[in-house]
Amino acid sequence: MRRQLFAIFALTALGTWSTPSLAGEPTAAEIAVARKLFREATDLEKDGKWAPAEQKLREAISIKETPGLRYHLAFCLEQQGKLVEALVEYDRTDEMLQSGVKAPDVASLVGPARDALRARVPSVKILIPRDLPGATLEIDGRRVSTAVSGEALPLDLGKHSIRVTADGYQPFTRELALAEGERVEVVVTLEPASAKPTPAPEPAPAQPDVSVSTSGWSTFTWVLLGEGVFTGAALGLGLYATVDRGSAQDEVDRARAEIDASGSKSGPGACNDPEPEDVSACRQLPKLSDQLDRAKTLQTVGFIGAGVGVAATALTIVLWPAESPETAARRPRFGVVPTPSGAWAGVSGRF
């Protein structure tokens, strides 16, 4: 069937080369070029290469327009899915025939081909209110006259976008996906544009913020804080143990002095067989010695822990990666801020 159509198209096109062109009679050299382009187009059509064939046909038509070439072009466009353009070319072919251009083979084909294509081409009827001030219509981003409102507009298959604007109204948009033969009606309804929002009042001058928020503290700050708390706690334990050790040492010395002063025995062995008056002091001496030992242990642990905390803090400061300028700008600031009723003194900033 396709080869028969090509044969008919070829005979029709070749048979109308002598028909006068609407733009004037081309030269013999131009006719030769047009015939060459047509032969190349038909070869491409046989191989299903519709886009290159379309280009060749357009070049031939630019030299001499004939119903056969227009019919060929419409057929190529239809095979590419360019249904609306193909319909326009079929209509142009019919116009040429109606004007008296002779092409009997095309005349018998163009009517059925155009009718069959019209049944396939989807259409959209856009209903725009007539009283919209400054109304504009865009289809697929291209401006279209609003005079087409209410008319069935043929469109190609696939997705399309419709946008309608008018003065004082919010834009109307609609997305469509058209299939073959589909008939769609779009009723445009525009909502009035909202009133211009009242500008917000300017914010009042901010009061000085002397509170310290820890919600944004960095990891570095938390580490230093933890090491500081540990160092302080360890130092406090060492100092407490030092005082407790001194008190326990005094109690031990006092008990031993009592034993040495009241009995005939003295020294470490005085409580092995104590005198009656030394029994009470000898009973207290072990407890006091245990208290002294605990105080010594806590004192050692506290001061060693404080030393470890100080060393850890120093290493953190030295080895921690340098902060960026933006981070440095977020460090807390200390100072005094004057106010009408006095002054604020404190710390503010982001950690």
Q: Is residue 48 part of a domain?
A: yes
Q: Is residue 200 part of a domain?
A: no
Q: How far is Cα 189 from Cα 137, in angstroms, rounded to an integer?
A: 13
Do 248 and 312 share a domain, yes or no? yes
φ/ψ of 307, rounded to 5, equals -65, -40
φ/ψ of 114, rounded to 5, equals -70, -40
Tell me the two tokens of residue 17: 């080369």
Do 32 and 132 share a domain, yes or no? no
Q: Is residue 210 part of a domain?
A: no
Q: Is residue 202 part of a domain?
A: no
Strand ranges (E), the chain: 123-127, 136-139, 142-144, 152-154, 158-165, 172-178, 183-187, 333-339, 342-348
Angle of CA points 101, 76, 37, to nearest 5°:
70
Do 79 and 153 share a domain, yes or no? no
Q: Is residue 199 part of a domain?
A: no
Do 100 and 139 share a domain, yes or no? no
Flag whether pLDDT at 272 surpasses 50. Answer: yes
Of the ranges 83-97, 110-124, 267-281, which one carries the lowest mean pLDDT score?
267-281
Do 110 and 13 share a domain, yes or no? yes
Do 135 and 92 share a domain, yes or no? no
Q: What is the DSSP string of 131-154?
A: T-TT-EEEETTEEE-GGGTTSEEE
Predicted local confidence at residue 279, as pLDDT: 61
Q: Is residue 229 part of a domain?
A: yes
CATH of the domain at 144: 2.60.40.1120
Its domain, for residue 241, covers: 219-327
Q: What is the per-residue pLDDT across 124-155, written as a single tens digit (0 to 9) for each? A: 999 998 888 888 999 999 999 988 888 999 99
Of 187, 210, 237, the one marking the end of a domain is: 187
Of the ranges 159-168, 201-210, 249-258, 327-336, which one carries the lowest mean pLDDT score?
327-336
Predicted local confidence at residue 27, as pLDDT: 93
Of 68, 102, 120, the one marking the end of a domain is: 120
Q: Is residue 238 part of a domain?
A: yes
Contact of 155 with 178, CB cutoff 8 Å: yes
Percentage of residues of the chain with pLDDT beyond 70: 71
Q: Is residue 244 part of a domain?
A: yes
Flag whether pLDDT at 4 surpasses 50. Answer: no
CATH of the domain at 89: 1.25.40
Predicted local confidence at residue 312, as pLDDT: 86
Do 224 and 320 share a domain, yes or no? yes
What is the DSSP-derived secondary structure letter of residue 292?
H
| Rounded mean pLDDT, 108-125 | 92
| Rounded mean pLDDT, 237-266 | 76
Do 107 and 152 share a domain, yes or no? no
Half-sphere exposure of 72 (CA within 13 A, CB side): 37
Q: How far is Cα 135 from Cα 87, in angstroms, rounded to an integer?
A: 29
Of 187, 211, 241, the one marking the end of a domain is: 187
Do 312 and 245 share a domain, yes or no? yes
What's the Cα-to-Cα distance from 313 to each of 76, 195, 240, 307, rounded to whole Å? 82, 61, 23, 10
| Rounded mean pLDDT, 264-280 | 59
Do 179 and 131 share a domain, yes or no? yes
Predicted local confidence at residue 24, as pLDDT: 64
Contact of 80 with 88, CB cutoff 8 Å: no
Flag whether pLDDT at 336 surpasses 50. Answer: no
Average pLDDT of every residue of the chain: 79
Of the ranges 95-99, 120-124, 168-172, 280-284, which one carries the lowest mean pLDDT score?
280-284
Do 236 and 292 share a domain, yes or no? yes
Predicted local confidence at residue 264, as pLDDT: 52
Tell me how far the alpha carbon of residue 63 is from its chain's centroid: 53
Q: How far is Cα 326 from Cα 94, in angstroms, rounded to an integer?
A: 75
Q: What is the per-residue pLDDT across 175-228, written as a single tens digit (0 to 9) for each? A: 999 999 999 999 999 999 875 555 666 666 655 544 444 445 678 787 888 888
Do 115 and 152 share a domain, yes or no? no
Of the ranges 11-25, 76-90, 109-123, 196-210, which one carries the lowest mean pLDDT score?
11-25
Flag whether pLDDT at 15 surpasses 50. Answer: no
Q: How many domains does one find in the chain? A: 3
Contact of 34 with 63, CB cutoff 8 Å: yes
Of the ranges 90-94, 162-166, 197-201, 206-210, which one carries the lowest mean pLDDT score?
206-210
